[in-house]
Amino acid sequence: MVYINRNIRLPNCSFFLLGPRNVGKSTWLKNVLPNAKYFDLLESSLYFELLQNPDDLEAMIGTASPDTWVIIDEIQKVPALLNEVHRLIENKGWRFVLCGSSARKIRRGGVNLLGGRAIMCNLESFSSSELRELFDLEFSMEWGTLPVVALNLMSPPEFLNSYFETYIKEEIKEEGLVRALPPFIRFVNIAGLLNGQSINAQNISRDAMISRTTVDSYFSVLTDTLLGYFLPAYQPKLKVREQTHPKFYWFDSGVARAASGLLFEPLDRLWKGTALETLIFHELRVYNEMSKRNRPIYFYKTTSGSEIDFVIENRKQRPNSKAHITCIEVKLSEKWNRKWEKPARSLDNHKGIYVDKMIGIYLGKREYHFDKFEVYPVATFLQKLHKKGIF
């Protein structure tokens, strides 16, 4: 099996490692910490013992020296262990990796009890900079970049179908995250179809036959289990009325396809366009995380229909200085149309904003430089992004 080096760096202190199912968290940990003491809470006997007696963890680790690494996989299954981990970090000096695919129970189960003694790290599916020559744009748009899919270890439709069924069974049903499965499954199907679109909870409520508050609750389940992200609207205080509904993107275009029930259906151009946006958003998030830029990412849209796919806030507006942003427009086209530059240029002309960069991404092969507006083929953009050439 091919091992892909990940961009994430091993911290020198205890940390949480969160990420969706099957993105390679355990594989990476076993590779970078081969001598760590490893506890997998998917193992039934271990799970039940530590659920009943969390303080048995110390005896299981034994007489390990200070600075010993201890990995607890699927930590969200026994949140009460966080109290014991906190004590052992202080009293024994052991370093813990707390690995999980859901932030929901961890947050509600006492993550703050660690008192800042563990930092937060995230891992997602492969990025183009990790896959390198194995990265296939068309394939990634169609099926996503989960390790099993990207490395061709299983047939993408069968794996993604199983992935979705396992998520429903193990993350939702067994963890009791929702009261009833049928309405949640209806909701997930609609949320899959709405990937990359502005979210109108009232419309979803009607289509899924659930209450408005249940829509919000179900979206929180998706975000807490790290399957998706809200992309908020950028609000630069322009005079025009702005669109405030956020967009929702699944973390992986293949998983979005599975959720929507389109795994065995041919994809139309609209879906492929959204899949390209999903891929770019994924790459922006991964780079933002790994480079520690921590820049807010938005989209921009007015009621007139003008839209910028991604707005990266490089510096917030202050009383005596403008906001600095980078605008990115993504198009599923082999030819660049200059009319697509207008929304970004309109922001560049606003007195309260300074646009550091205006960038277009498309499927063509040529680069263009139009008076501060840079147009790149997808591959060129991704190379520049991960070499710190975008923001």
Q: What pLDDT, in 10s, does the model give residues 59-109?
A: 999 999 999 999 999 998 998 899 999 999 999 999 999 999 987 777 665
For the chain, what is the radius of gyration of the CA atoms? 22
Judge whether residue 239 has pLDDT over 60: no
For 9-48, how does the pLDDT look when each residue is reduced to its tens digit (9 = 90+)?
999 999 999 999 999 999 999 999 999 999 999 999 999 9
Residue type, 271: W
- pTM given for the model: 0.93
Judge whether residue 110 has pLDDT over 60: no
Domain that holds residue 43: 15-122
φ, ψ of residue 276 to 5 degrees: the values are -65, -45
Mean pLDDT over the full length of the chain? 92
Residue type, 143: W
Same domain for 53 and 35, yes or no, is yes
C-beta separation of 332 from 349 below 8 A: no
- Token look-up 């099957």 returns 22
Same domain for 262 and 288, yes or no, is no
Residue at 111 is within a domain: yes
Mean pLDDT computed over 201-211: 96
Same domain for 139 and 114, yes or no, is no
Question: Between 355 and 177, whose confidence is greater?
Answer: 355
Residue at 2 is within a domain: no
Residue at 275 is within a domain: no
Predicted local confidence at residue 317, as pLDDT: 87
**Structural domain count, the chain:** 3
Same domain for 259 and 149, yes or no, is yes
Least confident stretch, 182-186, 238-242, 315-319: 238-242
Predicted local confidence at residue 177, as pLDDT: 81
Judge whether residue 245 has pLDDT over 70: yes
Least confident stretch, 75-79, 281-285, 302-306, 317-321: 302-306
Instruction: Please report, rounded to a whole number, the percentage of residues in the chain having pLDDT higher than 90.
Output: 81
